[in-house]
Amino acid sequence: MMSSYSVTKPFVSVYVLAMVALQFPHSVLSLNHTNAYLNHICIKGEGTVKGNSYEEAVKGVIDHMSTYLGYGFVNGAGSDGPTKIYAKIQCRPDASESICRSCITTALPEIRRKCPNNKGRIIWYDNCLLDISSIYTLGKIDYRYIFYMYNSKDVSSNKMAFNKNTKALLYELKEKATSKKEIPYRRDYLYAAGEESLGTTKVYAMVQCTKDLSAKNCSVCLDWIMAKLPKCCNGKQGGRVLSPSCNFRYELYPFVKT
Ligand SMILES: *[C@@H]1O[C@H](CO)[C@@H](O)[C@H](O)[C@H]1NC(C)=O
Ligand SMILES: *[C@@H]1O[C@H](CO)[C@@H](O)[C@H](O)[C@H]1NC(C)=O
């Protein structure tokens, strides 16, 4: 089900491993499509480049990858002289192909502006992740970065019970997301969303890994970020932990349509 693809352009060779799109049974859309910018990182350790040819090469790789967004995940590679370019695009599985594409169209110039000259750069939005690196990381968990976001308001109910309930929901979703071994080339591979009630409080959550990970590594990645739950989100009305390889989010309102 995987097709490989390559083209040669003046500045760049693009090798895109595209995942073939299957029709998703029910079209899933986010309730509010505010595609918020979340964070970015300029990877100092990967060094810098000068001049426009690197940027043109990156754009060539991403533009090419953007024609394969039907699955919500695509990885590609290219080079600018001796500098390798490895890129990953992961969209939220409930974002349509056009929402995914428009997210990447926003992300690419934005990360260029934020990290001029950096070879390695990653940017997170609500609907997509764009990861550009000179190091090959496909299939590997990227432990280098992690960040939290939370709603500053506390829940009005029993905090301890709320934390316990939220944690249980996230672990249940992790199991769900990583048990889909048999269908690796679906949009919802390594992804799960769900909800749970505790008294009158309803918690909505989702977990997600980039689709290059194995189910096992997705599980390892989610364990790593979920262990940060008490640190980030103790009794908070909403919270997220994000890394380049996996993320979770919970809110007291529905943010994904199932
Ligand atoms: C999304 O919609 C819900 C209600 O459906 C609302 O409570 C929430 O604040 C909205 N979130 C954003 C980021 O606009
Ligand atoms: C899992 O991740 C590790 C480190 O991130 C990597 O070395 C390994 O190859 C991955 N395993 C699989 C089966 O993808």
Phi, psi of 216, deg, nearest 5 = -60, -50
Pick the most confident of 3-7, 102-106, 182-186. 102-106
Q: How far is the CA of 211 from the centre of ligand 2 (A)?
A: 13
pLDDT tens-digit profile of 216-249? Answer: 999 999 999 999 999 999 999 999 999 999 999 9
Residue 232 CA to residue 126 CA, distance in Å, equals 18
Of the residues 79, 108, 140, which one is the last residue of a structural domain?
A: 140
pLDDT tens-digit profile of 108-164? Answer: 999 999 999 999 999 999 999 999 999 998 999 999 999 999 988 999 989 999 999
212 and 127 in one domain? no
Instruction: Please report the atom of ligand 2 found closest to the CA of residue 141.
Output: 5
Q: Is the pLDDT of residue 25 over 70?
A: no
Stated length of the chain? 258
Q: Contact, 220 vs 226, CB < 8 A?
A: no
Distance of alpha carbon 109 from its chain centroid, rounded?
18
In a domain, residue 256? The reply is no
Nearby residues of 66 by Cβ (< 8 Å), 6 or more positions away: 89, 101, 104, 105
130 and 86 in one domain? yes
Distance (Å) of CA 35 to CA 30, 32, 41, 83: 10, 9, 18, 31
Give alpha helix (H) positions in 68-158.
Answer: 97-114
Give 171's Cβ-side CA count (13 Å radius). 10
Mean pLDDT of the chain: 85
In a domain, residue 228? The reply is yes
- Quote the pLDDT of residue 20: 28
The total number of structural domains in the chain stands at 2
- Quote the pLDDT of residue 22: 26
Q: Contact, 244 vs 122, CB < 8 A?
A: yes
Instruction: Please report the atom of ligand 2 found closest to the CA of residue 245.
Output: 5
212 and 100 in one domain? no
More confident residue, 255 or 257: 255
90 and 72 in one domain? yes
Of the residues 140, 156, 185, which one is the last residue of a structural domain?
A: 140
* Backbone CA torsion sign across 100, 66, 62, 146: positive
Residue nearest to atom 9 of ligand 1 (CA): 253
100 and 170 in one domain? no
Say which DSSP state 155 is in: P
Tokens 């505790």 sit at which residue? 198
Residue nearest to atom 13 of ligand 1 (CA): 34
- Quote the pLDDT of residue 258: 59
Of the residues 79, 109, 140, which one is the last residue of a structural domain?
A: 140
In a domain, residue 258? The reply is no
Name the residue of 32, 127, 202 whose CB sits within 8 Å of the most ligand 1 atoms, as the mutation to test its pocket.
32
- Quote the pLDDT of residue 181: 65
Residue nearest to atom 8 of ligand 1 (CA): 253
156 and 119 in one domain? no
pLDDT tens-digit profile of 43-68? Answer: 999 999 988 999 999 999 999 999 99
97 and 63 in one domain? yes
In a domain, residue 25? The reply is no
184: confidence class by pLDDT, cuts 50, 70, 90: low
244 and 180 in one domain? yes
In a domain, residue 93? The reply is yes
Domain that includes residue 244, residue range: 147-251
Q: Is the pLDDT of residue 175 over 90?
A: yes
Is residue 230 exposed (0-12), middle (13-18) or buried (19+ Cβ within 10 Å)?
A: exposed
Phi, psi of 193, deg, nearest 5 = -135, 150
75 and 9 in one domain? yes
CATH of the domain at 39: 3.30.430.20
Which ligand approaches the C-alpha of residue 219 most closely? 2
Instruction: Please report the atom of ligand 1 found closest to the CA of residue 254.
Output: 5
Distance of alpha carbon 118 from its chain centroid, rounded?
20
Residue 206 CA to residue 129 CA, distance in Å, equals 16
Percent of the chain scoring above 70 in pLDDT: 84
In a domain, residue 193? The reply is yes
